[in-house]
Amino acid sequence: MSNRVLMVARRDFVATVSSKGFLVGLLVMPVMAVIFLLLIPRILSSTGPQIRGELAVIDPTGSVLPELRAALSPAALGAAAASNGPRAIPPGGPPMGAPMGPGPGMNPGLTPGHAPPVLTIIARPAGSDVQQEKSWLIQPPKQEPRHLALVVVQPHAVVRAPDQADFASYDLYVSRGLDDATETVIHDGLRRALIASRFKASGMDQSAVQATLRVARPNAMIVAPAGEQVARRGLSRALPFICGILLFIGVISGGQLLMTSTVEEKSSRVVEVLLAAVSPRELMAGKLLAQLGVGLLILSMYVGLGILALAQFSMLRLLDPMLVVYLVAFYAITYLVFGSLLLSIGAAVNQIQDAQSLMGPVMMLLVIPYVLTNFIGMAPNAPFSVALSFIPPANTFAMMARLASDTPPPAWQVLVTFAIGLAAAAGAVWFAAKIFKIGLLMHGKPPNFATLVRWARMA
Amino acid sequence: MELALEIHGLRKSFGSTLAIEDLELAVPRGTTYGLIGPSGAGKTTAIRMIMSILFPDSGALRVLGRASALEAKDRIGYLPEERGVYRRMRVSDFLTYMGRLKGGARAAVITRAKRLLERLALADAWNKKCEDLSKGMLQRVQFVAAIINQPELLILDEPFGGLDPVSVRLLKELVSEEHARGATIIFSTHVMVHAEELCEQIVMINRGRKVLDEPMSGLRRQYDTRAIRFEPLDPAADLAALRTLPGVERLQVTPDGCEIRLTEGTDPAAALRAITATAAPARIEFARVRLEDVFIRIVAGGESSEESHQALRTHLQGLGTEVARA
């Protein structure tokens, strides 16, 4: 590699990474990630006023009401809140992709640190007129105590009707403005009360049945010649997608910066001054190299953050270091393919707005494989996944997703993907070099794809 | 004679437009060549091909003894017509970068850049960002970038465009210094005065074709024998009488006297005798051919045929009567 290529690369790299825009852009993603992963669940779980008010219940069965009082007692609600807290991390770490904070189905009104609801139950006679009772829910604003809801337990909610397979349930009428969290608290209480009532009515031991139904799922152990290893089921579900994101972010960052800097050099007319000192090929090589470095810098920052996060949860041993090596190698290939295309667009147009129409198809070629990584990770050895591993420019994304899965592909497939990727990169660089040589000094009407192909033939 | 530049049969077209047609050129080392021609004539295309920024459809060229400028870029200085800078870069970084790209050692590049900036009254600009300089100052910085590597071949495309007279004078001095150092200089310009002042040889391109390739000294020696400049001994002499002389087509009064245009076929010597017999002269001479006249005749005269090009060449070789047809 000529000294001039390295000088061009160095200048472009330094100019890019020292710009305010780059530094802000570099920090935005990690900051956003921290906000989404840490702050938002905390904000969601810690906000909102304490649920407080009255709940009218019409219980023709006579057995649900006592159970409901028990289920919605301050002690029971406090215990439910405690069980919604952060889970203890099991040996080997939590499954990847498990959300932080309240899990699915958890009530944000029942979380630790959040004042438990205070619900007063008002028993209404079993034969009350429901229509009349509903009017109880209509009350002037700010009147205390709040009339929250009217629950009408259906007659066969505890004991099934002779001709029915399922139990009946309950009807719920709520006041205007009752939020979803409060309604969920009421439903949870009624669910527990109805289950307890049904067990009592049937004469079964509830705790014994629940214990009978509970089967703990163990962490699978992979037995291999090298020894036993905990299967990273949760991690492997997320890892292909994470690898796809990393490839995408690295390529789009480096590629966009490459295109922008080329358009700037062309529009500021500095490019001809540069061409007096370096050949078009050297200039292009230097620019490609510079933004490859920028992309690698971005990639290493995200990979570094990921490794730190894994280390934080004592899960570092679950990450195969070779995966990082593959990521860097496939990133370089993917970058060369897409970076070359974006570079040729940058050389062909006069201003960044002109590039939009040409960028559309290139972006589609980049986004589709990235979206597919999630599905490829789920079925890494399906014929579609295997076939996609050999079709550029999707091949690097597909292979990366498969390598990150629990059932990585055989080595020969990795090598074939690598070879095909290198050939695709060489083709893209060759095409870009031709466009670059002609486009840099072309001004006027922005070209379309047909013009680019004509230029490539001319050069 | 060692050549700095050799061009044979160079041809370049853009789509259906023929930009350069069969260009032949030989530039000896150490000479100063002026490339003149109207806008769109093909000067910049020719220069870009010399610099290997554009590539010819056919033909061959050798630059500083190499098959292409790509093999000799470190020895060539180039100031393009469409010149720019990295706006956010400091002048010091820009000049160092350009000098280093040209193969210069960092310390030597910095020393020379500072010295040249000082020559161009830009010493204060060293630590400034390019975007903080005026257009004229930037042009001078770009000129410094072109000569920072002490090139053997210096190619300047419209180097004085948009500059104030003081800057033009400073740059001309530097060009002359580069020439005195031994550099071969090729520059294109629209301003004939600059070409006349600096060039040893004039090459004119019109509509992609070379229509003139003559030494400036030869051009200076040529006279237009149909144009006579006359200054009477007596400032009050009646010049109107000259109008009636045989062979006088037109008479134009000037502050010092008049300029007389003869009809085609008039014997110049007989005309001189008739004029001096009518009014005593303080000075009488045939008008010298000015480059501007040549330029205008070729460009504005609508000449595109080989005959008219040949007529002009013949005229410049001494047969002034041929020019009258142009």
B135 touches chain A (CB under 8 A): no
Q: Among A174, A207, A240, give the residue marking a domain's end.
A: A207
Is the CB of residue B221 less than 8 Å from the CB of residue B203? no
Is the CB of residue B31 less than 8 Å from the CB of residue B200? yes
pLDDT tens figures, A348-405: 888 888 888 888 888 999 999 888 888 888 888 899 999 999 999 899 999 998 988 8
CB atoms within 10 A of CB A256: 20
* Pick from A32, A37, A96, A88: nearest CA to A316: A96
- A315 plus A420 within the same structural domain: yes
- A262 plus A163 within the same structural domain: no
- B301 plus B317 within the same structural domain: yes
A280–B76 CB contact, under 8 Å: no
pLDDT at A102: 41
pLDDT tens figures, B305-318: 555 545 544 443 43
Nearest neighbour of B101 by CB, restricted to A4, A265, A271: A4
3-state helix, strand, coil in chain A (%, to 5): 60, 5, 30
A157, two tokens:
């909610």
Residue in B86, B102, B139, B158 to test binding to A, most A beta-carbons within 10 Å: B86
User: Does residue A98 register a pLDDT over 50?
Assistant: no
- A29 plus A57 within the same structural domain: no
Rounded distance, CA A397 to CA A244, Å? Answer: 6
B53–A278 CB contact, under 8 Å: no
B148 touches chain A (CB under 8 A): no
- A331 plus A357 within the same structural domain: yes
- A257 plus A198 within the same structural domain: no
Q: Which residues contact B316 (CB under 8 A, 6 or more apart)?
A: B212, B214, B218, B219, B222, B289, B294
Q: ipTM for the complex?
A: 0.74
A279 touches chain B (CB under 8 A): yes
A269 touches chain B (CB under 8 A): yes
Q: Among B218, B242, B260, give the residue marking a domain's end.
A: B218
Is the CB of residue A323 less than 8 Å from the CB of residue A48? no
In the block, tokens 């909610």 appear at: A157
- A241 plus A322 within the same structural domain: yes
User: Does residue A187 register a pLDDT over 70?
Assistant: yes
- A94 plus A7 within the same structural domain: no
pLDDT tens figures, A209-226: 989 999 988 777 767 776
Q: Which domain holds residue A78?
A: 51-207
Rounded distance, CA B154 to CA B72, Å? Answer: 12
Give the chain A residue whose CA is nearest to the CA of B85: A270
- A116 plus A243 within the same structural domain: no
The DSSP symbol for A39 reads I
- B164 plus B232 within the same structural domain: no
Question: What is the enclosing helix (H) or strand (E) of A150?
Answer: strand A147-153
Domains identified in chain A, total number: 2
Residue A148 lies in a domain: yes
B66 touches chain A (CB under 8 A): no
User: Does residue A116 register a pLDDT over 80?
Assistant: no
- A338 plus A411 within the same structural domain: yes
Exposed e or buried b per residue across A321-350, where buried means at least 16 C-beta atoms within 10 angstroms of its C-beta:
eebbebbebbbbbbbbbbbbbbbbbbbbbb
User: Does residue A94 register a pLDDT over 50?
Assistant: no
Exposed e or buried b per residue across A422-455, where buried means at least 16 C-beta atoms within 10 angstroms of its C-beta:
bebbeebbebbbbbbbbbbbbeeebbeeebbeeb
Q: Which residue has the higher pLDDT, A441 or B281?
A: B281
- B83 plus B191 within the same structural domain: yes
Rounded distance, CA B267 to CA B3, Å? Answer: 43
Domain CATH number, residue B248: 3.30.70.100
Mean pLDDT of B159-177: 87
Q: Among B195, B218, B241, give the residue marking a domain's end.
A: B218
B129 touches chain A (CB under 8 A): no
Query: Sheet of B223-232: strands edge to edge?
Result: B248-253, B258-262, B223-232, B281-288
- A249 plus A282 within the same structural domain: yes
**In degrees to the nearest 10, what's the CA dihedral of B129, B134, B138, B139?**
180
Choose the weakest-confidence range: A99-108, B73-82, B266-275.
A99-108
A316, two tokens:
């570092």
Q: Among B218, B248, B268, give the residue marking a domain's end.
A: B218
B98–A270 CB contact, under 8 Å: no
Rounded distance, CA B47 to CA B77, Å? Answer: 12
Please give, one letter per residue, the 3-state secondary structure of chain B.
CCEEEEEEEEEEEECCEEEEEEEEEEEECCCEEEEECCCCCCHHHHHHHHCCCCCCCEEEEEECCECCHHHCHHHEEEECCCCCCCCCCEHHHHHHHHHHHCCCCHHHHHHHHHHHHHHCCCHHHHHCEHHHCCHHHHHHHHHHHHHCCCCCEEEEECCCCCCCHHHHHHHHHHHHHHHHHCCEEEEEECCHHHHHHHCCEEEEEECCEEEEEEEHHHHHHCEEEEEEEEEECCCCCCHHHHHHCCCEEEEEECCCCEEEEECCCCCHHHHHHHHHHHCCEEEEEEEECCHHHHHHHHHCCCCCCHHHHHHHHHHHCCCHHHHHHC
Q: Among A207, A242, A275, give the residue marking a domain's end.
A: A207
Residue A13 lies in a domain: yes
Is the CB of residue A219 less than 8 Å from the CB of residue A91? yes
pLDDT at B317: 41
Residue A135 lies in a domain: yes
pLDDT at B312: 47
User: Does residue A87 register a pLDDT over 70?
Assistant: no
Chain B nearest-CA distance from A320, in A, is 43
User: Does residue B300 register a pLDDT over 90?
Assistant: no
B101 touches chain A (CB under 8 A): yes
- B314 plus B182 within the same structural domain: no
- B166 plus B102 within the same structural domain: yes
Rounded distance, CA B135 to CA B114, Å? Answer: 19
A271 touches chain B (CB under 8 A): yes
Q: Which residue has the higher pLDDT, A119 or A26?
A: A119
pLDDT at B325: 35
CB atoms within 10 A of CB B316: 20
Is the CB of residue A347 less than 8 Å from the CB of residue A262? yes
The per-residue pLDDT of chain A, averaged, comes to 83
B48–A441 CB contact, under 8 Å: yes
Torsion sign (Cα): A403, A407, A410, A416: negative
Angle between helical axes of A233-267 and A3-17 (0-180°, round to 10): 110
pLDDT tens figures, B39-55: 888 899 999 999 888 88
- B192 plus B242 within the same structural domain: no
- A11 plus A130 within the same structural domain: no
Is the CB of residue B94 less than 8 Å from the CB of residue B86? yes
Q: Which residue has the higher pLDDT, B303 or B212?
A: B212
Is the CB of residue B311 less than 8 Å from the CB of residue B320? no
- B193 plus B49 within the same structural domain: yes
Nearest neighbour of A270 by CB, restricted to B48, B85, B101: B85
- B115 plus B24 within the same structural domain: yes
B222, two tokens:
């040529």
Q: Which domain holds residue B139?
A: 3-218
User: Does residue A90 register a pLDDT over 50?
Assistant: no
- B195 plus B272 within the same structural domain: no
Q: Which residues contact A32 (CB under 8 A, 6 or more apart)?
A: none
Is the CB of residue A150 less than 8 Å from the CB of residue A137? yes
A15–B86 CB contact, under 8 Å: yes
- B231 plus B143 within the same structural domain: no
Query: Sheet of A170-174: strands edge to edge?
Result: A118-124, A52-58, A147-153, A170-174
CB atoms within 10 A of CB A80: 22
Chain A nearest-CA distance from B167, in A, is 20
Is the CB of residue A9 less than 8 Å from the CB of residue A258? no
Domain CATH number, residue B195: 3.40.50.300
A270–B84 CB contact, under 8 Å: yes
- B283 plus B295 within the same structural domain: no
Is the CB of residue A358 less than 8 Å from the CB of residue A385? no
Please state the φ and ψ torsions of residue A414, each to the nearest 5 degrees: -60, -45
Residue A18 lies in a domain: yes
User: Does residue A95 register a pLDDT over 50?
Assistant: no
Instruction: Name the β-bridge partners of A230.
Output: A221
Chain B nearest-CA distance from A276, in A, is 6
User: Does residue A99 register a pLDDT over 70?
Assistant: no
Question: What is the enclosing helix (H) or strand (E) of A224?
Answer: strand A221-224
- B18 plus B99 within the same structural domain: yes
From the number of C-beta atoms within 10 Å of its C-beta (0-12, 13-18, 19+), residue A112 rates as middle
A272–B82 CB contact, under 8 Å: yes
Instruction: Name the β-bridge partners of B228.
Output: B260, B286
A155, two tokens:
């007659």
Q: Which residue has the higher pLDDT, A315 or B268?
A: B268
Residue A42 lies in a domain: no
pLDDT at B93: 94
Give the chain A residue whose CA is nearest to the CA of B94: A11
Interface of A with B in 208-267 (CB under 8 A): 265
- A278 plus A424 within the same structural domain: yes
pLDDT at A276: 85
Domains identified in chain B, total number: 3
pTM of the model: 0.70
Winning range, highest mean pLDDT, from A95-104, B92-101, B189-198: B92-101
